[in-house]
Homo-oligomer: A and B are copies of this chain.
Amino acid sequence: MELALLYSGGKDSTLAALTLDSFYDVHLVTAHFGFTDDWTHAKTAAETLGYPFETVELDENVAADAVDRMHADGYPRNGIQQVHEAALEAVAGLGYDAIADGTRRDDRVPTISRAQAQSLEDRYDVDYLAPLSGFGRRAVDRLVEETLDIEVGPSDTVPKADYEGELRQLLIETYGTDSVGEVFPEHEQTYVHGLLD
């Protein structure tokens, strides 16, 4: 069976790919808005890991709405959640047997409820899998440490292909340079260079 995994080049979605690998033909799909070429980092990671890769372009209005929401909230959570849901809808429309993401049990965002999962499955006739949703933070960290060659650093310096880079840029364009620091707290990001031997 063919599966499309929403992929950022980070540790969670990479680990999700490995857990699904025994059961599905895994394709890595990076959603982007076309504002930056951040998605090429995910492509590089996908090529290193040996998975087929494609992108799906989301509507610019999704980014604009998310940025407005984040600016109004003063934190990114709800805006990120909106973008993640739009990305899952886009991937669900690609025609695969199953779709998946790297959501973990202890993530505050994004979260996909059971009702949302079932709605997605019914509307697109696709299975939605969250293979890490039964894994806590420490379990994921231990598996990453044993399995992946990663780079960790502040989220504005580590190469990444999730929506955050594009949303940061749109936030600056719309609300000015200071708005990024107001919305996004400093946090660590990871980028996957490949598998450990």
Closest to A104 in B: B134
A3-36 vs B: 1/0 string, CB under 8 Å? Answer: 0000000000000001101110000000000000
Q: Name the one of B1, B127, B136 contacting A117, with C-beta atoms under 8 angstroms.
A: B136
A130 contacts across to B, CB distance below 8 A = 105, 134
A139 contacts across to B, CB distance below 8 A = 98, 127-129
Q: Name the one of B19, B127, B135 contacting A138, with C-beta atoms under 8 angstroms.
A: B127
Distance A194 CA – B114 CA, assembled complex (angstroms): 31
Given A139-B98, A142-B1, do A131 and B129 touch, yes or no (CB 8 Å)?
no
A128 contacts across to B, CB distance below 8 A = 136, 139
Give the contact-size bracket for chain A.
Answer: 20 to 34
A18 contacts across to B, CB distance below 8 A = 22-23
A131 contacts across to B, CB distance below 8 A = 19, 131, 134-135
Q: Are A146 and B1 in contact (CB under 8 A)?
A: yes
In the complex, A179 has a CB within 8 A of chain B? no
Q: Are A135 and B142 in contact (CB under 8 A)?
A: no
Closest to A128 in B: B136
In the complex, A188 has a CB within 8 A of chain B? no
Closest to A15 in B: B23
Distance A131 CA – B129 CA, assembled complex (angstroms): 11
Closest to A120 in B: B136
A142 contacts across to B, CB distance below 8 A = 1, 97, 127
In the complex, A54 has a CB within 8 A of chain B? no
Which residues of chain A (94-121) have a CB below 8 Å from chain B? 97-98, 103, 105-106, 114, 117-118, 121
Q: Name the one of B114, B127, B136 contacting A127, with C-beta atoms under 8 angstroms.
A: B136
In the complex, A46 has a CB within 8 A of chain B? no
Question: What are 12 A-B interface contacts by the 8 Å CB criterion?
Answer: A1-B146, A19-B22, A22-B22, A23-B147, A105-B114, A106-B114, A117-B136, A127-B138, A127-B142, A131-B131, A133-B133, A133-B134
